[in-house]
Amino acid sequence: MRRDERFAAVARDDGIRKISKFTWRAGAIGVAGSALIAVAFGHHVAAQPGRDSGNHSGQGTIVVPAQPPAPAHGAGQVTSGAS
Amino acid sequence: MTAAVAAGSDTFSVFGTTAALLLSEPGRLEAARAVADAELAAVDRACSRFRPDSELSRLNAAGGAITSVSELFAELIEAALRAARLTAGDVDPTCGQALEEIGYDRDFAVLRAAGGAAPRRGRPTGTVPGWRNVHLDRARRLVQLAGGAQLDLGATAKAWAADRCAEIIAAKVDSGVLVSLGGDIAVAGPAPADGWRVRVTDDHAAGPEAPGQTVTIRSGGLATSSTTVRTWALGGRRVHHIIDPATGEPARSCWRTVSVAAGCCVDANTASTAAIIRGEAAVSWLRDAGLPARLVREDGSAQITAGWPRDPGPAERA
């Protein structure tokens, strides 16, 4: 009876070790896989416009004019209208 | 024709519209024109929707395949995507299919000569695929159109080309310059003493004294968008070319014409187009962004924002 109990305890400890080892390996594989995916596709994310990619000389807004239009009289040299 | 009354000026046809070139150093006009011709031809080869040999046509026909593009075309796409991002998608470069569905499937002069387009067959898609379906790998100059997207760079390419021409001409011929491409105006280099005089009106082809307002600019760009000019008959109704990406249909706006001044022409045109689509909400948006603008309602009354000069004319209301 006592032999059976010892055998059971050893088997339990062995099972726990195996589960623990499996869990750690699965975790490590998951981390490594995530890193690989990030490396493989990271440049696509960075290159996609509209995600703060910093394209266009870092212009994140529509640029206002250095000075607003000034009033004038008479005809224009050119016309700004739709085409 | 676009009015170009100053010495050192030239007008010519390009992109199915009228271009004007003004120089503060009149003797350098010929050299400036040569630069403009070369640059505009390159832009047309890159992004014309009506040339089967353009890069844009080839990309649209690629069926979603990753496509290698030229540096110039990559820059044009980048500018279009930036406009989409800055307007939360209101100015969207994937309106190509929507424009074709309302009959704008050929050069506008041809469309106009035909008296309009036949009523469309089949059901409208209702929306555009959206600019996030355009995947641009800027470093490797690779583009992929996902989700059935079809590019149309009409909302940004002309203004972008005006900026590019102005910058290059100012640098190469050492003169102040104004470039107008169908009313999308960019200036660079030293301006004349009293600035460049621009008549702001509905139609760029109207004369220099057409109803509107005259202002002067010294730098950056000025652009006007309108629902009144590039229009055609579709079945029993009139449609125009400014597509609301939310509906895939011509925008129904309280504004007939919006003019905006900005740091460059493509930004000005981005804002003026977005304002047409946003309707009443455009006023606070432009004001918050600090963009001087003139917004004209259907009845001709105008509203201004952010330092745009008041029009002394009776039709204007500040």
| Cβ-Cβ contacts under 8 Å, A77 against chain B | 3-6, 9, 22, 178, 196-198, 208
Q: Which of B4, B222, B309 sits opposite A80 (nearest CB)?
A: B222
For B251-273, write each residue's pLDDT tens digit: 788 999 999 999 999 999 999 99
* Dihedral, CA of residue A74, residue A76, residue A80 and residue A82, to nearest 10: 70
For B64-112, write each residue's pLDDT tens digit: 999 999 999 999 999 999 999 999 999 999 987 777 777 676 666 665 6
pLDDT at B31 over 90: yes
Min distance B201 CA to chain A CA atoms (Å): 5
Measured over the CA atoms of residue B57, residue B60, residue B64 and residue B68, the dihedral's sign is: positive
Kindly provide the residue ranges of all beta strands, DSSP E only, lying in B118-250, ordered along the sequence.
Answer: 134-137, 142-145, 177-181, 184-188, 196-203, 213-217, 220-226, 231-234, 237-240, 243-244, 249-250
For B106-126, write each residue's pLDDT tens digit: 666 665 666 655 656 554 555
Min distance A30 CA to chain B CA atoms (Å): 28
Burial of B299 (0-12, 13-18, 19+ CB in 10 A): exposed
User: If you measure CA to CA, which chain A residue comes closest to B200?
Assistant: A80
Classify the phi-psi angles of A35: left when phi > 0, otherwise alpha if psi is within -120 to 50, otherwise beta.
Answer: alpha
Listed range (A53-57, B141-145, B220-224) with the worst mean pLDDT: A53-57
Average pLDDT across chain B, whole number: 86
Min distance B5 CA to chain A CA atoms (Å): 5
| Cβ-Cβ contacts under 8 Å, B292 against chain A | 64-65, 68-69
Touching check for A71 and chain B: CB below 8 Å? yes
Put simply, the answer to whether A81 touches B212 (Cβ < 8 Å) is yes
For A9-23, write each residue's pLDDT tens digit: 778 888 888 887 877
Residue of A43, A52, A59, A62 to mutate, interface with B, max B Cβ within 10 Å? A62
ipTM over 0.95: no
Query: How far apart (Å, rounded) are the C-alpha atoms in residues B188 and B6?
Result: 17
